[in-house]
A and B are shown apart, each in its own frame.
Chain A
Amino acid sequence: MVLGKVVGTVWATRKDENLTGLKFLIVQHADMDYTLKDQYVVAVDSVGAGVGEVVLVATGSSARQTDVTKNKPVDAVIMAIVDKLDLAN
């Protein structure tokens, strides 16, 4: 999974009808010391993440393995909100 910070939201009325009702959040990738990288992904939220929260994103077919994204054209899903990160030095 990728570590990232939720930095925004995407609203789209005209979209694949399978995507109706899903929340799209913009996640900026982060290093393990939380410095933000110049890399973004739009991920479907499945755990109630909010803007500003540090999250984990699963991508690829794994992203369809939640009740919210099952059988939907989704390849990135927020599946955890990070409380703490311990890094051995």
Chain B
Amino acid sequence: MFFGKVIGTIWATRKIPALNNLKLQIIQPVDSRRLPNGAPIIAVDTVGAGVGETICYITSREASIPLPEPFAPVDAAIVGIIDRIDLENF
């Protein structure tokens, strides 16, 4: 599971049917201090995150598990919207 920030949205009408009515969001991966950390990716949004929100997302095959139709070619999915991050500084 990784942190990210929603920075945009993708619209695609021609796609695999299992993705119908699901939002495709653009995620900027961030570190635990919410600073950019890697290239943006596209993830399915199953929790209704808004642009600008910090989220956590999962990757690889497990990303299709939260979908209404799990048999779908999805390798990234937003699974939570972050309220607060408590980080012990070592």
Contacts and interface: CB of A to CB of B under 8 A. Distances in A.
Nearest to A69: B73
Interface residues of A, number: 30
Main secondary structure of the interface of B (DSSP, over half): mixed
B60 A62 contact: yes
Contact of A56 (B24, B39, B52): B24
Contacts of B13: 81, 83
Interface of B: 7-16, 19, 24, 26, 39-43, 51-52, 60-61, 63-64, 71-76
A79 B14 contact: no
Interface of A: 1-3, 31-32, 46-48, 56, 58-66, 69, 77, 79-88
Given A62-B63, A65-B61, A65-B64, A80 B15 contact: yes
Contact of A46 (B7, B73, B75, B76): B73
B59 to A, nearest CB: 8
A66 B69 CA distance: 11
B60 A56 contact: no
